[in-house]
Structure 1
Amino acid sequence: MQFLTLLGKKLKSEEVIELLELHDVSVVYDFDRFQEGMKDVYWASSRDQGFELRFNEEQILDVVFLYIVESSGFSSVDKSQLDAPLFSSYREAKQSFEAEGVEYVSSPSNDPNHEMFQRWIKGIFQGYSIHYEFADHTLAKVTMTLIA
């Protein structure tokens, strides 16, 4: 699935509607019911397909969550269909970013005994970022975010 190419698309764009219909995904309107100044968003989740989409108040797809391993009631996404690079380890991601000159931020701890050691790394690209989350040194979740 070409999630990366969907970032920035409108909820009612042909490409997004096609994805939602293909997987029979409903859209849930999440409004600021407590009037705390939170912006309204729209969610489209496919637990069986291992992905969740968030659309901002303007109905633009701004975040894609991909579950690489089963978690939080989501099945594993079909990795063979993804348009973003996947890394088998934190080290592989970091080496790739450095080799390609990609700006990145990562887990703050350099202590191998710290629980956050090599837990995540985020590559910052032109118009978007990709956050890689690792659990037990295995890629667990990928989050793609539109950068305004």
Structure 2
Amino acid sequence: MAGREPGAGDWPAVARELRRLHSLTAGWPQRPGFRSTTELLTADRGGDVDLTAMPADAVAACRRAWAALGGPHSVVHGDPCAANVRMSAAGIGLLDWDEARVDHPALDLADLPDLPGDGVAKSAVNAWEAAAGWRLEPAYARSRLAELTPPD
């Protein structure tokens, strides 16, 4: 996809485009084989997440962070980092949809640079990253688990 990675000052426009995606996909069905953070409050597996691989205290911490989010749900990209966003005269494009699912829209916005923080969403993203990476990227997963903060 043509374009450049977002730079300083581009992130509010990226957030607007993500919010547009969220508004257009509210109420969509879940991607086959995936689970939202709400569903993972009681389910053990979905997408890249296998909570049975994690220690019980880590699972409990993740579920506490996810429970604080609540509803509504829409399609989320799941990894809107600079490498997965393209800025062009035609608009904003999103690449690499392998982590996409139906989930809480705040999860797409919590890690974007240069935007006001949302402690609840940031904790939920840290929990997601820990759970999704537990088997494949254990050091990264543990570092994100360590960043979990109690909801505001």
Select the structure that is richer in strand.
1
Query: Does the alignment reach a TM-score above 0.5?
Result: no
- TM-score computed with the length of structure 1 as normaliser: 0.26
Select the structure that is richer in helix.
2
Answer with 1 or 2: which has the greater Rg: 1
